[in-house]
Amino acid sequence: MIEVRNLTKRFGAKLAVNDLSFDVQPGVVTGFLGPNGAGKTTTLRLLLGLAHPDHGTATINGHRYHDLRSPMREVGAVLDARAYHPGRRARDHLLVLAAAGRIPRRRVDEVLALVGLEDVANRRAGTFSLGMAQRLGIAAALLGDPPVLLFDEPVNGLDPEGIIWARTLMQALAAQGRTVFVSSHLMSEMALTASHVIVIGRGRLIKDSSVDDLVKASSGKVVRLRAPRADALGSRLQAAGATVEANADGSLLVHGLEAATVGDIAFQAGVAVHELSPLEASLEEAFMELTREDVEFHARAASPVGAASPAGAARP
């Protein structure tokens, strides 16, 4: 269980983390989402005692990281995949950390096998690809078999097989009852991995909800309507409180009404309906919708993402 309360961190004039509060529950994978520069890594570094907050607290199972008696047995974290000396052999790197955490040497071979690095354990870690580096980082995090795990962008640099492996691992760890907190800017990845998400933008909490609720909140209120005499329906739908948008293909996008209501209105107007489909937003679209105001570096490109998609235009 991770508890963050009013966490605030300032770097010079920039408020990297701004009065952030949330909990991360055990037993599920919790995604930590936000655009680049939103403050995800800073929050994780504050949780891990690598940086000191200006205000507020970040605790793990009720303790600040600094006060954990046996930190490697309580929390495992992969922040920067290359947090090792390139000249040191992979096994030696793990042996060093095991010594620091008073963890038996045999556990080093266990975690090497767990991440599939046993064949390259005697290679200098500097020769590793980014994917192997990620695996070595995960091995280090699992050394103490901890109940709380933090991963910062764990699938960066992994090949497709590695991504599936990492996702399976995180879900298995959560299924064992551990707290698994995974930061990412890849919504599509989190949609597959996490069942709960915490979304931040510019250091502030934007959303703390289950993935299902997040998707639901952003969708369901958009209906695509295809009818031969659609134009006759527009004013009636607007009278019922909907916003209507005409698509290039002649269909209508109806915002603000349930599909059933739209169907009833069409029936009352005596208009034949050829298609009536509620549109679901993807997590990606829900995220874009949430963070549109908070993206640190706006692209100058013309079409704003989401505006072209029906769900993106839907206001919950």
Partner 1 sequence: MTATAPRPAPPSPVPTSSWGPVAGPVPTLADTIRAEWAKLRTLRSAPVTLAVAALLVVGLSALISFAVAQNHQRAGADALAHPLHIIQAGWELGLLAFMVLGVLVVSNEYSSGLISATLMSTPKRARVLAAKVIVFTLTAFVAGEVMSFADFFIGHAIIAAYPFPDPWVTDPNVVRSVVGWGIVATLGGLIGLGAGTLLRHTAGAIASCVGFIFILPGVLSALPSSWSNPIEEYWPTNAGARLTELTQGPHTLTAWWGAGDLLAFVVVLLGVAGTLLVRRDS
Using alpha carbons, list the distances in angstroms from residue 35 to 15, 88, 134, 266, 290.
15, 34, 21, 41, 11
Residue 208 found at the interface with partner 1 (CB under 8 A): no
**Residue from the set 25, 127, 176, 238 that interacts with partner 1 by CB under 8 A:** 176
**Residue from the set 12, 62, 87, 270 that interacts with partner 1 by CB under 8 A:** 87
Q: Partners of 279 in the beta sheet?
A: none
Q: Which stretch binds partner 1 (CB under 8 A): 60-68, 199-207, 258-266, 268-276?
A: 60-68
Count CB neighbours of 103 within 10 A: 20
**Residue from the set 128, 151, 165, 181 that interacts with partner 1 by CB under 8 A:** 165
CA-angle at 56, arms to 27 and 66, nearest 5°: 70
Rounded CA separation 10/18 (Å): 8
Residue 49 found at the interface with partner 1 (CB under 8 A): yes
Phi, psi of 30 (to 5 degrees): -105, 125
**Residue from the set 1, 8, 19, 96 that interacts with partner 1 by CB under 8 A:** 96
Count CB neighbours of 135 within 10 A: 28
Q: Which is nearer to partner 1, 86 or 304 (CB)?
A: 86
Q: Which stretch binds partner 1 (CB under 8 A): 63-71, 219-227, 237-245, 247-255?
A: 63-71
Q: Which of 211, 225, 191 is nearest to 310 (CA)?
A: 225
Are 241 and 256 a contacting pair, CB within 8 Å? yes
Consecutive H or E run containing 37: none
Rounded CA separation 115/75 (Å): 18
Using alpha carbons, list the distances in angstroms from residue 150 to 37, 235, 239.
18, 53, 51
Residue 116 found at the interface with partner 1 (CB under 8 A): yes
**Residue from the set 5, 107, 204, 226 that interacts with partner 1 by CB under 8 A:** 107
Residue 167 found at the interface with partner 1 (CB under 8 A): yes
Residue 140 found at the interface with partner 1 (CB under 8 A): yes
Residue 104 found at the interface with partner 1 (CB under 8 A): yes
- What is residue 63's DSSP assignment? B
Shortest distance in whole angstroms from residue 250 CB to partner 1: 36
**Residue from the set 119, 161, 249, 293 that interacts with partner 1 by CB under 8 A:** 161
Shortest distance in whole angstroms from residue 297 CB to partner 1: 23
Shortest distance in whole angstroms from residue 251 CB to partner 1: 31
Shortest distance in whole angstroms from residue 162 CB to partner 1: 9
Residue 3 found at the interface with partner 1 (CB under 8 A): no
CA-angle at 134, arms to 198 and 199, nearest 5°: 10
Phi, psi of 252 (to 5 degrees): -115, 145
| Count of positions on this chain that bind partner 1 (CB under 8 A) | 62
Residue type, 50: L
**Residue from the set 129, 145, 247, 304 that interacts with partner 1 by CB under 8 A:** 145
Q: Which is nearer to partner 1, 63 or 315 (CB)?
A: 63
Residue 124, CA atoms < 13 Å, CB-side half-sphere: 6
Which residues would be at the binding site for partner 1 (CB under 8 A)?
45, 48-52, 65-66, 68-75, 77, 79-80, 82-89, 92-93, 95-97, 99-104, 107, 110-111, 113-116, 140, 142, 144-147, 161, 164-165, 167-169, 171-173, 176, 192
